[in-house]
């Protein structure tokens, strides 16, 4: 099985996820700047954060499949598991925004980020196992420092938001800082795969 | 006519169906775990079930068209009939979820599964007829045990949900068990087509 | 300019149009068959009609671009005009359905069908003019009987729905019969283009 | 990295943006022409304007990537920044329409146009820098008169809408004239790139 149709389907799903989140932005009832800031001021930033995260996943997915030539049934399902987690972003984003960053919705958003990271790692693992001992993806991923740090950051964010009783509002801000910081870390493109692609040639 | 554009269009429709179902997940008004479980706890599982079913159809569609080289008008319309049935999933899923598994919505969900299975079988039949006596798809499908068992399971589920007057709530649970069980049966990828693809080569 | 990206974009837009119409199907508040028939019984048939129409346009678009090798700026805009008209179907379908076939919404639905037919004809004309005197599309289209009959049917439907004061409810039924009848006429695939494709070879 | 998947993803996002705007068109509660004009008469024209703008961006994006062979991480993110700005059109369009052209929403619509123009210019700059001194895109763009005039028009529109206290309603009409006029200017396809494509050959 070639990868082209899996990539096309994933591109379609990711394009829809990244775009329908904007449907959650409520149109302000007041037609002035105060109405906009009150109704959608925060929402816009939350939307931007989720947009960036889906963009990161598309980016990494894109890079990863440059090193994949063939797709097995296991890869198809691992990919669908990742897409399922990503498809929940419009929901968790809307809840976090509507609650104005109450602890529970922030924790759920963090769990969503965590679930996406885990299923992405699962997809990577399934592909590496399928490629066997000479797997170019394994070489490209290397020690996978960023992939290991991110869940730790998400977990730290979740825990500090959960510790709200003791920390008060500050726990939520630490959580958001973790989520935003990890996104910034990922915006820098993954040069490891670029390097391996140059050595091995792409799968196309 | 080549299959590429039919596949691209089907991928687009399936990607949208699988993603817009998440729009039906209502954001809880309470911002705690109880609110989430009360408002969307069940909905999340229902969404997962429909997500898996659309994933299964994409998967099988993907496999099937590996053995198709040319597309006739009949295939185009048989494919659109399948897409129509699948496009009703967001509606039947939302109704079943909002009713908290009342018998009638569960029956409708089962009928939707049944209609999708029948139109998929119709598409398969149209392709086999077009390919003629040496049809590689016919060889790949073989006795098509899973394809014949599934409608039987859906029908069993529908009937037990209909028998609510006598069986009480238990009929609905049997129906759901049938729908979930059939999904699990299909997650295991179809090795028959993989085998035939390896023998015949793909249509690309 | 090659046609591939124009086809991909059009496929995307058509896939979304055909699928988001299902979002207009309201989930019944009553959880029994009466509730379903009352709330969405008519809607389902209306949805099916619009689904078939978008399917017909995708089908014909697909066939037409088999005979197109190059795309000019004029073709891009003629194509966007067609997509704009088709993108109004979810709106006119929802209005016609919610009004339970009041004359004005039925007329608007007919005008939408008419506008789509005219812009499709415009796209065809722009392509034929670009291809010059030996245009394979012109030969394929021939006398274009179906393309000329359809607007006449739509117009007849619009006029009979407009004559409601004199004809009463019957004008609306004639209009719907015109719209359904034209759809059935188009489901039969266009063999003329198939023939020319076989003679000329496709543009791929 | 090849451009094909970036183009496919962008096509998907643009196709969704251009189509979901129709979801904002509210179905009139009255089922006559007065109800339609009252509820959606203005909305239809606003939708058309945004449809044309997204069409223009797709068109130019399409043309631009004909001259791009390889995609770096910087191009991916510059492209996502453009898509983010474009994804806000359904929101700003809906607000401008629902407010019946109150000054603040009109200003926001203008800012959205401005942001899209700036990120498009950013994407162009990133690609030219990546292509180096012999950049075919730089030659194609040339003095980029239209690209420089457009932001000036948007800015003029924003300023006149802001000057509402002194100018009254007329400031908003000048702003809308600026936005509509710039769109008309862009509908005429960009012959510069066509010319360079003919000289250099496409990147495909």
Nearest Cα residue to C94 out of B89, B97, D39, B98: D39
Q: What is the pLDDT of residues A63-80, one digit of tens each?
A: 899 888 888 888 989 999
Given its phi and psi angles, is residue A135 left (phi above 0), alpha (psi -120 to 50 degrees) or beta? beta
A91 or B163: whose pLDDT is higher?
A: A91
What crossing angle do the helices spanning C145-162 and C103-131 adopt, rounded to 10°? 160
pLDDT at A29 over 90: no
Helix-strand-coil percent breakdown of chain B, rounded to 5?
80, 0, 20
Q: Residue B97 and residue B109: Cα distance in Å, rounded? A: 10
pLDDT at C190 over 90: no
Q: What is the distance in angstroms between the Cα of B192 and the nearest Cα belonging to chain C?
A: 30
pLDDT at B31 over 50: yes
Least CB-CB distance to B189: which of A2, A9, A73?
Answer: A73
A38 DSSP 8-state letter: I
The verdict on a CB contact (< 8 Å) between C83 and D18 is yes
Q: Residue C74 and residue D181: Cα distance in Å, rounded? A: 19
Contact with chain A for residue B201, Cβ under 8 A: no
Contact with chain C for residue B80, Cβ under 8 A: yes
What crossing angle do the helices spanning B4-20 and A4-20 adopt, rounded to 10°? 40
Distance of CA B121 to the CA centre of its chain: 12
The whole-number pLDDT of residue A110 equals 96
pLDDT at B201 over 60: no
Least CB-CB distance to C94: which of D27, D31, D33?
Answer: D27
Q: What is the distance in angstroms between the Cα of A134 and the nearest Cα belonging to chain B?
A: 23
Mean pLDDT of A31-45: 81
B27 DSSP 8-state letter: P
From A38-52, C175-189, D30-44, the region with the lowest mean pLDDT: D30-44
For A11, the enclosing helix (H) or strand (E) is helix A4-20
pLDDT at D201 over 60: no
Least CB-CB distance to A11: which of D5, D80, D84?
Answer: D5
The whole-number pLDDT of residue C41 equals 66
Given a contact cutoff of 8 angstroms between Cβ atoms, the answer to whether A101 and A92 are in contact is no
The whole-number pLDDT of residue B147 equals 85
Instruction: State percent of chain A over pLDDT 90.
Output: 45
Residues in D touching C98 (Cβ below 8 Å): 27
The verdict on a CB contact (< 8 Å) between B33 and A77 is no
Mean pLDDT of A5-20: 91
Distance of CA C5 to the CA centre of its chain: 22
The whole-number pLDDT of residue D195 equals 64
Least CB-CB distance to C27: which of B1, B5, B98?
Answer: B98
Contact with chain B for residue A70, Cβ under 8 A: no
The whole-number pLDDT of residue D70 equals 83
Chain D residues 14-33 with a CB less than 8 Å from chain C: 14-16, 18-20, 22-23, 25, 27-28, 31-33
The verdict on a CB contact (< 8 Å) between B40 and A105 is no
The whole-number pLDDT of residue C204 equals 44
CA angle B51, B53, B54 (to 5 degrees): 65
The whole-number pLDDT of residue C106 equals 93
Residues in D touching A202 (Cβ below 8 Å): 2
Q: What is the pLDDT of residues A122-145, one digit of tens each?
A: 999 999 998 888 888 888 887 778
The whole-number pLDDT of residue A204 equals 44
The whole-number pLDDT of residue C66 equals 85
Chain C residues 149-188 with a CB less than 8 Å from chain B: 187-188
pLDDT at B1 over 80: no
The verdict on a CB contact (< 8 Å) between D27 and C91 is yes
Residues in D touching C84 (Cβ below 8 Å): 48, 51
Q: Residue D141 and residue D146: Cα distance in Å, rounded? A: 10
Q: How many CA atoms lie within 13 A of D136 on its CB side?
A: 19
Sign, Cα dihedral of D23, D29, D31, D35: negative
Q: What is the distance in angstroms between the Cα of B162 and the nearest Cα belonging to chain A?
A: 32
Residues D46-52: contacts with CB within 8 Å, 24+ apart? Answer: D46/D93, D46/D96, D46/D97, D47/D21, D47/D22, D47/D93, D47/D97, D48/C84, D49/D93, D49/D179, D49/D180, D49/D183, D50/D21, D50/D89, D50/D90, D50/D93, D51/C80, D51/C84, D51/C87, D51/D18, D51/D21, D52/C80, D52/D183, D52/D187
pLDDT at D190 over 60: no
The whole-number pLDDT of residue B168 equals 67
Mean pLDDT of B183-197: 71
Q: Residue A79 and residue A65: Cα distance in Å, rounded? A: 11
B100 or C123: whose pLDDT is higher?
A: C123
Q: Residue B75 and residue D204: Cα distance in Å, rounded? A: 31
Note the ipTM here.
Answer: 0.86
Q: Identify the top-confidence range among A2-11, B174-183, C56-65.
A: B174-183
Q: What is the distance in angstroms between the Cα of B88 and the nearest Cα belonging to chain A?
A: 18
The chains in contact with chain A, meaning 3 or more Cβ pairs closer than 8 Å, are: B, D
Contact with chain D for residue C95, Cβ under 8 A: yes
Instruction: State percent of chain B over pLDDT 70.
Output: 88
Q: State the pTM of this model.
A: 0.89
Residues A140-144: contacts with CB within 8 Å, 24+ apart? Answer: A140/A67, A140/A192, A140/A193, A140/A195, A140/A196, A140/A197, A141/A192, A141/A193, A142/A192
Least CB-CB distance to C22: which of B73, B88, B105?
Answer: B88
Burial class (CB in 10 A: 0-12, 13-18, 19+), B196: buried
Q: How many CA atoms lie within 13 A of C140 on its CB side?
A: 27
Q: What is the pLDDT of residues D79-105, one digit of tens each?
A: 999 999 999 999 999 999 888 888 999
CB pairs under 8 A between B and C: 85
CB pairs under 8 A between A and D: 85
The verdict on a CB contact (< 8 Å) between A16 and B11 is no
Residues in C touching D86 (Cβ below 8 Å): none
- Residue keyed to tokens 């044309």: D52
The verdict on a CB contact (< 8 Å) between B12 and C16 is yes
The verdict on a CB contact (< 8 Å) between D11 and C12 is yes
The whole-number pLDDT of residue B204 equals 44
The verdict on a CB contact (< 8 Å) between B18 and A108 is no
Contact with chain B for residue C41, Cβ under 8 A: no
Q: Identify the top-confidence range among A162-171, A184-193, B23-32, D118-127.
A: D118-127
Q: What is the pLDDT of residues C124-152, one digit of tens each?
A: 999 999 888 888 888 888 777 888 899 99
Nearest Cα residue to C149 out of C160, C140, C138, C157: C157
The chains in contact with chain D, meaning 3 or more Cβ pairs closer than 8 Å, are: A, C
pLDDT at B183 over 50: yes
Considering only alpha carbons, which residue of chain A is nearest residue D104? A32
Given a contact cutoff of 8 angstroms between Cβ atoms, the answer to whether C79 and C5 are in contact is no
The verdict on a CB contact (< 8 Å) between C40 and B91 is yes
Least CB-CB distance to A11: which of D9, D20, D99?
Answer: D9
Least CB-CB distance to A95: which of B7, B28, B51?
Answer: B28
Q: Residue A180 and residue D22: Cα distance in Å, rounded? A: 33
From A194-198, B51-55, C9-13, D28-32, the region with the lowest mean pLDDT: A194-198
- Residue keyed to tokens 């009848």: C181
Instruction: State percent of chain C over pLDDT 90.
Output: 45
Mean pLDDT of chain D: 86
């Amino acid at each position: 099985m070639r990868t082209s149709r899996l990539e096309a389907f994933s591109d379609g799903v990711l394009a829809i996820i990244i775009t329908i989140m904007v449907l959650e932005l409520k149109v302000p009832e007041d037609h002035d700047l105060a109405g906009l800031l009150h109704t959608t001021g925060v929402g816009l930033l939350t939307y931007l954060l989720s947009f960036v995260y889906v963009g990161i996943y598309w980016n990494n997915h894109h890079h990863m499949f440059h090193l994949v030539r063939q797709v097995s049934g296991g890869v198809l399902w691992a990919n669908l598991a990742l897409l399922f987690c990503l498809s929940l972003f419009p929901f968790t984003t809307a809840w976090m925004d509507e609650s104005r960053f109450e602890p529970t919705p922030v924790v759920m958003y963090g769990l969503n980020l965590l679930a996406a990271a885990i299923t992405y790692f699962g997809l990577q693992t399934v592909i590496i196992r399928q490629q066997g001992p000479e797997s170019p993806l394994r070489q490209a991923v290397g020690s996978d420092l960023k992939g290991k740090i991110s869940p730790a950051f998400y977990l730290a964010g979740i825990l500090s938001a959960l510790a709200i009783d003791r920390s008060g509002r500050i726990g939520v801000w630490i959580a958001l800082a973790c989520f935003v910081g990890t996104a910034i870390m990922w915006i820098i493109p993954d040069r490891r795969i670029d390097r391996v692609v140059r050595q091995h040639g792409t799968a196309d």
